[in-house]
């Protein structure tokens, strides 16, 4: 096994070859691709400093999931905004799932009528 430390920029399944960002190529018999997703909090000014505080959280960082649930439990009135980014994301259903769980929790607590819930999806007609 060889660890190739270059980004894949193309795959030719007929030639059984992966093109790399340095211009080279790697031949293969079998190919398993795990592209992953990199979180880049710095693309939104001020987000890194705010995550986990003041009602701002993300379930895409394991350490912040408890903060998300704490904010949901503490909210009794106001506005809750859940967002789903455009493009490929890890577990695309996660942003919708936490919104639905939160709405159900607020319904069970009898406060749903006092909370304006928004689920912002990246594309028209995008739903789970």
End-to-end CA distance of the chain: 39
Q: Tens digit of pLDDT for each residue in 15-71?
A: 988 888 899 998 887 676 665 677 778 877 788 888 998 888 988 888 998 999 999
Q: Tens digit of pLDDT for each residue in 79-121?
A: 999 988 777 777 778 888 999 999 999 999 999 999 999 888 7
List the one residue out of 124, 41, 120 whose CA is nearest residue 80.
Answer: 120
Q: What is the pLDDT of residue 32?
A: 65
What is the helix (H) or strand (E) element at residue 25, kind and residue range? strand 25-27
pLDDT of residue 127 exceeding 60, the answer is no
List the one residue out of 94, 49, 65 whose CA is nearest residue 57.
Answer: 65
Alpha-carbon distances, residue 19 vs 78, 98, 119 (angstroms) = 51, 38, 39
Residue pair 19/12 in contact by the 8 Å Cβ criterion: yes
């Amino acid at each position: 096994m060889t660890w190739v430390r270059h980004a894949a920029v193309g795959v030719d399944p007929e030639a059984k070859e992966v093109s790399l960002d340095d211009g080279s190529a790697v031949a293969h018999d079998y190919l398993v691709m795990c592209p992953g997703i990199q979180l880049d909090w710095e693309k939104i000014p001020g987000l890194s400093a705010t995550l986990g505080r003041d009602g701002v959280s993300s379930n895409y960082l394991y350490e912040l999931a408890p903060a998300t649930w704490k904010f949901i439990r503490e909210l009794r009135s106001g506005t809750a905004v859940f967002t789903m980014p455009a493009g490929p994301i890890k577990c695309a259903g996660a942003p919708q799932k936490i919104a639905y769980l939160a709405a159900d929790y607020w319904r069970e607590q009898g406060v749903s009528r006092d909370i304006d819930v928004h689920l912002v999806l990246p594309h028209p007609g995008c739903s789970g």
